Structures are given as structure tokens and as C-alpha cells.
Chains A and B, each alone.
Chain A
Amino acid sequence: SQQGEEDPQALSIQEGENATMNCSYKTSINNLQWYRQNSGRGLVHLILIRSNEREKHSGRLRVTLDTSKKSSSLLITASRAADTASYFCATHPINDYKLSFGAGTTVTVRA
């Protein structure tokens, strides 16, 4: 069954604006990871946040994790056209090693 669920399904923003997307999941996790897929390309790992972490930064990316609400958010600041892609959260549940993905959020950055 689907573990991660991204919201919104699609997001359109102007270049330079921030983009925020959320991920909710159902079971307890070891960690949560965000991936990006540009059109026609493979999944690229963006950031991993462990269950005992609350916030993590990587360049223009900021990820938060609230294990009490079983949710995470990904913020992309000062978006660029190259950020246009689908973004997936993947959870690593406790007692399971497999990554469980959601359906993704499609982000379009308009020039």
C-alpha cells in the first residue's frame, strides 16, 4: 500500500518564488528521503532526514520532519527553471528496508 502521499499533486510558480510541498505517511519510519525526477531522466536523491532529526538543509532545499504528525515538507527557495520536475518523498519504514514512494508533486517553474 502507498506509504507516502505528496501534496499538492501539481504546483506552478514563477521563477524566484519559493515552492513548498508536503508528504504524509502512515507508519513509523527510520528515515524519509526526497527524490527529484526531471522529464525523461532518472530519480535523483536530494536529501535524507532521519527520524530523530527535525530539519535539514541542502543548498536551496529545506526539509522538515514531524514524526508526531507523520509528515514532512520540502521547501525549494528562489526557484529556477531547472527546478521544474516531479518530486517524490520516499519513506523507509521501521521493520522494512524497502523505500515506499508516493505519487509525487509535479512542479513547474515559469520563467
Chain B
Amino acid sequence: EAGVTQFPSHSVIEKGQTVTLRCDPISGHDNLYWYRRVMGKEIKFLLHFVKESKQDESGMPNNRFLAERTGGTYSTLKVQPAELEDSGVYFCASSQLFLGSGTEAFFGQGTRLTVV
């Protein structure tokens, strides 16, 4: 069974440009999460989808970030326009059950975003 996959694995863009990250969760997982790790710091929660609905987007840093989950399958995270401080590794995770039940979240390999 395929795990959580993320595209691209690495992206280098100039400040002001737009980048779209994609996450394909494990098939059948209704819950999808985005996390971000800025260089050397903790991994921070960005948002949570249940199917196609945003359950919690309290971690989204500002309105330059837009996440969608079309049809409750894959998800995209768009950064427009990108700023230098957006550089970091963006992780996507999925879980079959709501994380509040103590279930395990499966993470993708992450997308390393570098804004220059």
C-alpha cells in the first residue's frame, strides 16, 4: 500500500513567486494534516482537513497560504506570494481515524521549500 506522497520533494523559488505543494494521502484516510518545520525549529501544525472540509486552520501563518482538498482526496498548499520566511520543510500527514482517538498519523517525506 502506498504511503503519503508529497510533490515536489524540493522547490527553490524567488521571493514573490507562487508555489503549490501537493499531498496525496493514504487511500481511505479522511483526515489530512499539514505541518511545517522552519529551519532548526519545532514542527508546527498548519491545518487539518476532514475529507474536503477544513476542520482547523488555526496554524496557517497568514493569508498568503491557501490550502485545498479537492473531493476529499489529494490536497494542495499554495503560497502566494512567497516570502523568505516561508522557507522550510512542509509535511503532510494522514490518518484514518480522528487524531483525538489516539491513532497514528502517517507522514509523507516532506517538501523542502527554499525561497531566495
Enumerate A52-99 residues with CB–CB distance to B below 8 Å.
88, 90, 92, 97-99
Interface size for chain B: under 10, 10 to 19, 20 to 34, or 35 or more residues? 20 to 34
Asked if residues B42 and A101 are in contact (CB atoms below 8 Å), the reply is yes
Minimum CB–CB distance for B110 against chain A, Å: 6
Asked if residues B102 and A42 are in contact (CB atoms below 8 Å), the reply is no
Asked if residues B45 and A43 are in contact (CB atoms below 8 Å), the reply is no
Which residue from chain A places its CB closest to the CB of B100 in the assembled complex?
A97
Q: Is B106 an interface residue (CB 8 A)?
A: yes
Minimum CB–CB distance for A100 against chain B, Å: 7
Asked if residues B107 and A92 are in contact (CB atoms below 8 Å), the reply is no
Asked if residues A35 and B109 are in contact (CB atoms below 8 Å), the reply is no
Interface size for chain A: under 10, 10 to 19, 20 to 34, or 35 or more residues? 20 to 34
Asked if residues B107 and A98 are in contact (CB atoms below 8 Å), the reply is no
Contacts of A42 in B (CB 8 A): 3-4, 6, 91, 107-110
Interface centre among B33, B40, B56, B107 (most CB of A within 10 A): B107
Which residue from chain B places its CB closest to the CB of A30 in the assembled complex?
B102
Minimum CB–CB distance for A43 against chain B, Å: 4
Q: Is B48 an interface residue (CB 8 A)?
A: yes
Contacts of B12 in A (CB 8 A): none
A98 to B100, alpha carbons, bound, how many Å?
A: 7
Q: Which among A40, A100, A103, A104 is the interface contact of B109 at CB below 8 angstroms?
A: A40
Contacts of A30 in B (CB 8 A): 100, 102
A4 to B41, alpha carbons, bound, how many Å?
A: 12
A4 to B108, alpha carbons, bound, how many Å?
A: 21
Asked if residues B42 and A43 are in contact (CB atoms below 8 Å), the reply is no
A43 to B98, alpha carbons, bound, how many Å?
A: 19
Contact residues of B with A, CB < 8 Å? 3-4, 6, 9, 33, 35, 40-45, 48, 56, 59, 91, 93, 98-100, 102, 104-110
